[in-house]
Structure 1
Amino acid sequence: MPRDLAEQLRENLMTSSFPRRQHRPGPALEPDTGLPQLNGVFDVDATRLSAHLGPLREQLDRLPARPQRSPEQQRLAEGLLQAGRSARLAFVRTHGERLHRELTHGGSRSLRLDALAYAAAGLVPGLTPTRQTIDAERAHDQVHKDGHELDQGILLWGLMRSRTAGTQILDAMLAPTARAQAALPEFSRTGIAGLGTVSLTRENGVATLTINNTSCLNAEDDRLAEDMETAVDLALLDDSTHVGVVRGGVMSHPRYNGRRVFCSGINLTRLYHGQISLVDFLLRRETGYIHKLIRGIRIPGADPLAPEGMREKPWLAAVDSHAIGGGMQLLLAFDHVVAESGAHFSLPAVQEGIVPGASNFRLSKVMGPRLARQVILGGRRIHAEEPEALTFCDQVVPPEQLDKAVAQAVETLDNPSVVSNRRMLNLVDEPLDQFRSYMAEFALEQAKRLYSADVIDNLERTWINRNRHQDN
């Protein structure tokens, strides 16, 4: 390998911001490859990239699985992975918009995030992991993964940073899911839909979405994200629904048995066991059902000026007990929030080591920059009785008055002019292009955080402490 390329690779490996685990000192091992020379021509660069990535993957596949690697072998694996990530980053930085055109046949196909991620693996071999690779990694705890999801984060960063491609992706994510469309006739007829971890019931024009992930205090995971999006779609598609309400169900967890809980944030047990997906959870929830709460759903092929083109409705949240992490993030998307006195709110993502979704995009506008930093960076918990709670809650009432407060707020929101006015408010509060730009950076930053050493260490400590507590 030419000396200048070797020096360039070593410099990239030393200075990159991608996460690297720490190991004991040992003999230096480096991947035997240089960086591909990209010339800006898509087809040529795609061929060169695949030719560059193939040998890297072959060398990685010859190593033992991560738990069985020696420190030297792990350093070699990290060098191989980092060399591939640097090359992928350079490719999508140059060709993100063209790549999206190729994947969507010039924009004629509307592809969601997961479809884009796996289609890219077929179009440019090695650019992103195949579904088989991701499925195989999900069989391992987070600490034992090589982090191939990082390559998906790189791809989606490259696509969404393009205004044209990113806007089309967000538009695709606003379309109703196939599951919701299949369930719509029955829900429209009965007003009842059981969707696994959530249920949806309609009465007098109000669709109530109840989160029922009861054994884990309504903690969020891949399954809940799918069920939530399906329920939100159904409420938006259903002609008889005027207003949507989201509330936590009654818990079976010993600590809250018989009590309602709104949401306890990301399921750290599933994250520890490698069962939290970058694409199907962390990105899907932000660009899927949470974004749909704000903007509604778009009917593919329909005229946006026609009544059936966009389906948008007002949403209310009723908070019992607490809204932690993703639960507090979710509140920022609602038109009205009613909380019981005694409830509390927090965003412990910094302590966990990850990024709290789109809270960094929305919270300063709601609470002000200083308080937002206290909550996000300092882990400040807000109690419903504090004046600060009224920056993101519209009402705080005694528990016995919560149902009445919800009913009164629903009556106010059930007004034909509310939809148009909330749409105009959201255009000012959350411009689509700003959200797109944020989500592009979030895709890459969150992917890096998922596999950072401090996140793994936090999970290990949390898991060990939890097991010790259960044993005692």
Structure 2
Amino acid sequence: MLDCSIENRVAILTINRPNRRNALCTELVHALKGRFATLHRNDVVGAIVLTGAAPSFCAGSDLKELGTMDVPGMVAHEAHTASMARLIGLLDVPVIAAVEGHALGGGFILATSCDLVVTAEGANWSLPEVPNGWVPPWGLKSLTGRVSAATARRIVWGFESFSGQAAVDLGIADYVSTTGQALAMATQIAERLAALPRAAVRSTKRFFQADMLGQAEVWDFQAGHAFAENCTHPPAIETLKRFAIRT
């Protein structure tokens, strides 16, 4: 479900649920949160690369699992996911996302929660929550840390999807690679960061935390309440019902 290897002071975390397009189930969120906390305390690790097993980076929350929950259960699950993503910004080591394939919904926001983002040009970025019937329930502060509020609103409405190059042009991602090379590029960047003086890298990340994270916890709390209200309306109910019965 979550693989980890360490080489040249770089930890590579690979979400490994390819049969579910690496969707964020409860067990995976718990595993990510625990692994981030462990690597944060590891003096050998100077940077982390977060990626997904082919063919996707991450398809967001596991809607099949969400479809089995009541609304309070879904809100609690999304709040737990939100706390995992916010933790990335509080780590002392930089985290670089390596995105191939799909970065959808929570997968999109998980990537933007990282310090740097490398995307393959053939990647597909989108936030499909509003078309599904609800507002994204967490992580929008990470998006407005990268793009303007007006651009974030455009993206959140979810009527567009973006290629890797378009994601870089908008500011969603930082670097674009040829398809199939995002992990290699992200690893090279991570190795360069890991070779820098650790204390100075840590201080740089901490210096920008207030601007990058800001009121992220409050934003997530408010988005969670909006999500709960949205999920009482027919479009969201029908979406969740459709995913819950899929095998």
Alignment TM class, shorter chain as reference: 0.7 to 0.9
In structure 2, the residue matched to 1:231 is: 35
In structure 1, the residue matched to 2:47 is: 243
In structure 2, the residue matched to 1:139 is: none
Amino acid at match of 1:430: L
User: Could you tell me how far apart the structure 2 residues matched to 1:291 and 1:237 are?
Assistant: 17
In structure 1, the residue matched to 2:231 is: 450
- Decide whether aligned partners of structure 1 residues 326 and 389 sit closer, same or farther in structure 2, where only a CA change above 3 A counts: farther
User: Could you tell me how far apart the structure 2 residues matched to 1:387 and 1:338 are?
Assistant: 10
In structure 1, the residue matched to 2:173 is: 393
The answer as to 2:65 corresponding to 1:266 is no
Shift of 1:243: 0.8
Amino acid at match of 1:248: G
The answer as to 2:135 corresponding to 1:339 is no
User: Could you tell me how far apart the structure 2 residues matched to 1:273 and 1:333 are?
Assistant: 27
The answer as to 2:4 corresponding to 1:200 is yes
The 3-state SS of whatever aligns with 1:226 is helix
Shift of 1:389: 4.4
In structure 1, the residue matched to 2:77 is: 281
Shift of 1:280: 4.8
User: Could you tell me how far apart the structure 2 residues matched to 1:400 and 1:363 are?
Assistant: 25
- Decide whether aligned partners of structure 1 residues 241 and 458 sit closer, same or farther in structure 2, where only a CA change above 3 A counts: same
- Decide whether aligned partners of structure 1 residues 381 and 413 sit closer, same or farther in structure 2, where only a CA change above 3 A counts: same
Shift of 1:214: 1.9
The answer as to 2:197 corresponding to 1:412 is no
The answer as to 2:85 corresponding to 1:290 is yes
Shift of 1:424: 0.9
Aligned to 1:440, which of 218, 221, 237?
221
User: Could you tell me how far apart the structure 1 residues matched to 2:235 and 2:213 are?
Assistant: 32
The 3-state SS of whatever aligns with 2:146 is helix
Q: How does 1:4-43 map to 2 (within 5 A)?
A: none
Give CA-to-partner distance per residue, 1:256-278, whole Å, 9 cap, x none.
xxxx3100112222222228933
In structure 2, the residue matched to 1:314 is: 94
- Decide whether aligned partners of structure 1 residues 358 and 268 sit closer, same or farther in structure 2, where only a CA change above 3 A counts: closer
Identity %: 26
Contact 1:329 1:356 in 2 (8 A): no
The structure with more radius of gyration: 1
Amino acid at match of 1:428: D
Aligned to 1:358, which of 120, 130, 138?
138
User: Could you tell me how far apart the structure 1 residues matched to 2:109 and 2:123 are?
Assistant: 15
Amino acid at match of 1:243: A
Amino acid at match of 1:366: R
What TM-score do the two structures reach when normalised by structure 1? 0.48
User: Could you tell me how far apart the structure 2 residues matched to 1:387 and 1:333 are?
Assistant: 14
Shift of 1:379: 2.7
User: Could you tell me how far apart the structure 1 residues matched to 2:22 and 2:204 are?
Assistant: 32
Q: How does 1:145-164 map to 2 (within 5 A)?
A: none
- Decide whether aligned partners of structure 1 residues 422 and 463 sit closer, same or farther in structure 2, where only a CA change above 3 A counts: same
Hey, which bits of structure 1, 4+ residues long, moved more than 4 A?
Answer: 387-390, 461-464
Aligned to 2:204, which of 410, 421, 444?
421
In structure 2, the residue matched to 1:140 is: none
The answer as to 2:150 corresponding to 1:370 is yes
Shift of 1:349: 0.8
- Decide whether aligned partners of structure 1 residues 403 and 453 sit closer, same or farther in structure 2, where only a CA change above 3 A counts: closer
Amino acid at match of 2:67: Y
Shift of 1:279: 5.5
Give CA-to-partner distance per residue, 1:91-141, whole Å, 9 cap, x none.
xxxxxxxxxxxxxxxxxxxxxxxxxxxxxxxxxxxxxxxxxxxxxxxxxxx
Aligned to 2:105, which of 314, 325, 336?
325
User: Could you tell me how far apart the structure 2 residues matched to 1:314 and 1:198 are?
Assistant: 19
User: Could you tell me how far apart the structure 2 residues matched to 1:265 and 1:447 are?
Assistant: 17
Higher share in strand: 2
User: Could you tell me how far apart the structure 2 residues matched to 1:428 and 1:237 are?
Assistant: 24
- Decide whether aligned partners of structure 1 residues 444 and 210 sit closer, same or farther in structure 2, where only a CA change above 3 A counts: same
Amino acid at match of 1:442: A
- Decide whether aligned partners of structure 1 residues 403 and 227 sit closer, same or farther in structure 2, where only a CA change above 3 A counts: closer
The 3-state SS of whatever aligns with 2:208 is helix
Give CA-to-partner distance per residue, 1:306-351, whole Å, 9 cap, x none.
xxxxxx2110111111211111101121111111111010011111
In structure 2, the residue matched to 1:460 is: 241
What TM-score do the two structures reach when normalised by structure 2? 0.87
Aligned residues: 243
User: Could you tell me how far apart the structure 2 residues matched to 1:447 and 1:427 are?
Assistant: 28
User: Could you tell me how far apart the structure 2 residues matched to 1:261 and 1:461 are?
Assistant: 22
Where do 5+ consecutive residues of structure 1 fail to align? 1-196, 251-259, 297-311, 468-472
Amino acid at match of 1:320: E
- Decide whether aligned partners of structure 1 residues 230 and 398 sit closer, same or farther in structure 2, where only a CA change above 3 A counts: same
User: Could you tell me how far apart the structure 1 residues matched to 2:223 and 2:97 are?
Assistant: 25
Shift of 1:294: 0.2
